Structure 1
Amino acid sequence: MTEAVNDSEQFVYDICSKSFLSLWSYINPQGKTPGKELCDVLVVCDPHVIVISVKDIQLKNTDDPGVDWKRWQRKAIEDSVKQIKGAIRWLDQSKYVIQKNGSKGLKLPLASERIYHRVAVAFGGKREVPISSPIEDDEFYHILDEQSVFLLLRHLDTISDFVNYLIDKQVFLSNTSIIINGGEENLLAIYLHNNRQFPSEADMIILEDDLWEGISNKPEFKAKLQKDSESYIWDRLIEALCQGGFDGEDWLGPDMSKSELAIRVLVKENRFSRRMLGSAFKDFLELSRIGQVRSRCVQSMSSVGYVFFAYDSDSTLQERKSELLARCFASLCQFDECFTVIGIGVNIPGQKPRDGYSSDLVFLQTQNNQWSEEDLRQAQYCRDEFGFFKNPNKTHVHEDEYPVIENTDDT
């Protein structure tokens, strides 16, 4: 486990690395000066860069609450805003993340495409001090306390879910006056209850302190959390692929390989999409174990095509990679609206392969939302010559993110 300077930073880093996965989360990255931290936590997933500053300042209770509040706000919030500003000035000149130990991390998104999200986490205010998200130099800062950051990253625990919330919240608060009684989780309650949207026509809103408790106790909300358990199969797959090393290739370095680009696509799937994908991958593994299927192609909610392939235990490493690539090309005949296709090759569960265990990724992507004539010729050849996905059994799956629980009480 990567260790932070203090417990509050470790707390925020731990939930970030759990939500956004370890490859994209950095604790105490270096700035301009070696040994001096840039910020407390940095999350990078092209094009998004989340800069997080954490301050743990205990509120002092004297005879003058107004003075106590101002002192706490200055140390817990204003100092974080200054740190974030300085971090972004340095990042604007940088091409790579510099890790805590001084080594290069992942390449930063292109400056012209980079989207910064500024987050300050203020510990110690005991929810006695009013907290607002300031706008300085036309830039928005999200101010969270320890309870709200935990709940936000518990229920928006993918990079797509979280940054979409931050972007929508920034637009909403830029046009609407709001008073929140309690923590930001009550704002999150409005967002989730309104199908991940904020009210668009209100000039002013007052949120009561019981909104989060109300939505989190709904039967369909609890059912959603239960159904999401299968989505973490996708998370575990990502971590396994990251740790697999891809035949020893140092692909986790600063230069993005096709493997890293493929992993990034997997990471950008939101929690609901991961539920569907995790369930499909689990079903595929079970069927491949009993010999009913060797490959399956799935289209995600994000219009990405995925090809799952279980290797023959007698195949060589090169044969596995070649067949996975051919199956990905053949899938283009099925994925009319997919302009990114990811192939995931794994060993059949329970079988010991002759040439050892391996996991492979294939990354196919168009440059202009249109497959080239050569790509399509290759796709048709792989389908017709090898029979890959030539006569597939097609299934359409519908599922509600928040399942409706039917009342079975007959009384």
Structure 2
Amino acid sequence: MSEGLTDSEKFVNSISERAFLSLWTHPNPIGKKGKELCDCLIVCGIHIVIISVKDIKYKDTGDEAGWNRWIKAAIDKSASQIWGAERWLNSANEFTRQDGRKVELPPKEERIIHRMSVSLGAQRRVMTKSGDLGNGVVHVCDEFSLGAIFGLLDTITDFVGFLTQVESLISRANIIFSGGGIEDLLAIYLLNNYSFPYEEAELLVIDDTIFEGFLDSDDYKAIQKSYETSYFWDRLIEHFIDDLLTDGMFEHGTGQVTSNQLALVQMALQPRAFRANLSEAFSEFLQKPELKIASRVVMGYRNTAFVFHLGPSSDREARVQELGLRCLVVRGRLPDVKVVVGISRDKLGPSEVGYSHDIAYIDLPEWGDELEQQVQTIQEELGYFANASWTRKPPSA
């Protein structure tokens, strides 16, 4: 983490890394003429989240002058920094991290940008200002909403899904927070199956007790319980990040990403509910040797298929080759699946050479006769799915 961060910036970046993992969280990235672009940039898949942090102590003057002074310093300046970063990003194809590593940005025509101001110091003595602040919607978090947003929306897909729904709501309704903040909107969103039940509303006054009530509810306890197993998936991603950042994931000479990074992006794009399903399937696959199967196929978010495979570390070259072929066969057998990610590791138990993981990635939008013949040959000669199990039904999004 960058040494030049303030305490509040360090805190925001730490919870960002915890939520979105280290590979996609970039503290104090470098922009135009070597200057700091923003306080934190999150880039994963086609999503970019620009975060600006301002920690301004509110001074109560007894009139609106104190309010306006704090809003200008904590929110308006934050929004200005965000819009400035966005203008630079709109003309850039990559940026440089503080550690010198270059990060490729998603294609300009595909990018989805979200703006977040973390405005601290008022302790809710100033009414939260959020929405379109002049050059697009800026989501404003304070001391009370920060932990709620990053804690309950701790995958990039869940996070940007909420921001997108809020942006849509703001486009059709005026929102007034009655003493609370964006965390009360979050509670409404989660209680209504990741949506807002306000299609016809033009004015919404959001009460400040909604989020507190949600935390005390059985719904919240059920959500937390259902996600307990999902953090195995996070640890698996971080394992690959630690392993592959120093072992060829990034081709520094060309600046191009490798298939390993693309595989990790697909793993990171899995929402929390899907991570729970994937984690349970993988754990069951590892812990039930009596099933005598070498692979298992599980459907993930947006028709991404995951192939779990077991093979010894004693011959990793053969294991990687087999994993890739199994992924290719899955792509051929499931016409709706374009992307397949394979994960291979040793069986549980003793090992003479230690333990390791391998990862594979296939993205084939088109499927021709030649590939079809290859898949048929693989299946006939190797019988890959005579000892494979399938889990096709994904959890509700």
TM-score normalised per structure 2: 0.92
2:57 aligned with 1:61: no
Q: Which whole-Å deviations, capped at 9, do the CAs of 1:76-129 have from their partners, x for residues lacking one?
A: 01111111122122222322221124x133201122222211111100011011
Deviation at 1:357, TM superposition (A): 3.9
Please tell me whether the aligned partners of residues 313 and 351 of structure 1 are also in contact (alpha carbons under 8 angstroms): no
Give the 5 Å matches for 1:66-81.
Answer: 66-81=64-79
Determine if the alignment matches structure 1 residue 305 to structure 2 residue 305: yes
Instruction: Tell me which of 129, 153, 159 is aligned to 2:150.
Output: 153
Find the aligned partners of 1:292 and 1:169 in 2 and give their Cα distance.
48
CA RMSD of aligned residues (A): 2.2
Cα shift at 1:396: 5.9
Unaligned 5+ runs, structure 1: 402-411
Q: Give the letter for the 1:342 counterpart.
A: V
Aligned residue number for residue 272 of structure 1 = 273
Q: Say if 2:231 and 2:276, in contact at 8 Å, map to a contact too.
A: yes
Q: Which amino acid aligns with 2:20?
A: F
The alpha carbon displacement at 1:180 in A equals 1.6
Task: Confirm whether residue 376 of structure 1 aligns to residue 377 of structure 2.
Answer: no
1:25, 1:246 → 2: CA distance?
14
Cα drift, residue 376 of structure 1: 2.2
- Is residue 139 of structure 2 the alignment partner of residue 142 of structure 1? yes
CA distance in 1, matches of 2:245, 2:177: 48
Distance, in Å, in 1 between the alignment partners of 2:389 and 2:359 is 24
Q: Distance in 2 between matches of 1:301 and 1:80?
A: 34
Q: Distance in 2 between matches of 1:149 and 1:247?
A: 33
TM norm structure 1:
0.89
Mapped partners of 1:351, 1:302: distance in 2: 37
Structure 2, unaligned stretches of length 5 or more?
none
SS in 1 for 2:288: helix
Secondary structure of the corresponding residue to residue 189 of structure 2: helix
Mapping 1:335-346, distance limit 5 Å = 335-346=334-345
Distance 1:90 1:277 in 2: 38
Deviates more, 1:141-150 or 1:244-253: 244-253
SS at match of 2:227: helix
Task: Tell me the residue number matched to 1:99.
Answer: 97
CA distance in 2, matches of 1:206, 1:279: 41
Aligned to 2:211: 212
- Helix, strand or coil for the counterpart of 2:320? helix
User: Which residue of structure 2 lines up, in the alignment, with residue 132 of structure 1?
Assistant: 129
Alignment of 1:225-304 (within 5 A): 225-245=224-244, 248-251=247-250, 254-288=255-289, 292-304=292-304
Residues 351 and 98 of structure 1: is their aligned pair in 2 closer, same or farther, counting only changes over 3 Å? same
Higher helix share: 2
Matched, 1:388 2:384: yes
Letter paired with 1:111: K
Shift of 1:293: 2.9
Partner of 2:265, secondary structure, is: helix
1:276 Cα deviation from its structure 2 partner: 0.4
Q: Secondary structure at the match of 2:225?
A: helix
Is the Cα–Cα contact under 8 Å of residues 327 and 342 in structure 2 kept in the other structure? yes
Counterparts of 1:298 and 1:201 in 2: how far apart (Å)?
39
Contact kept, 8 Å, 1:180 with 1:187, in 2: the verdict is no
**What residue number does 1:42 align with?**
41
Measured at CA, do residues 77 and 136 of structure 1 come closer, stay the same or move farther in structure 2, by a change above 3 Å?
closer
Q: 1:188 aligns with which of 182, 186, 189?
A: 186
* Aligned 8 A contact 1:339 1:371 in 2: no
> Does residue 349 of the first structure (1) align with residue 345 of the second (2)?
no
Distance 1:398 1:223 in 2: 19
Q: Structure 1 residues 112 and 137, CA, compared in 2 at 3 Å: closer, same or farther?
A: farther
Moved more, 150-159 or 135-144: 135-144
How far off is 1:353 after superposition? 5.0
The number of aligned residues is 393
- CA deviations 1:376-407 (Å, max 9, x no partner) are 22222222211111475555668678xxxxxx
Question: 245-254 or 199-208, which moves further after superposition?
Answer: 245-254
CA 1:374/1:202 → structure 2, altered by over 3 Å: closer, same or farther? Answer: same
**What code does the residue aligned with 1:381 have?**
T
Q: In 1, distance between residues paired with 2:137 and 2:336?
A: 36
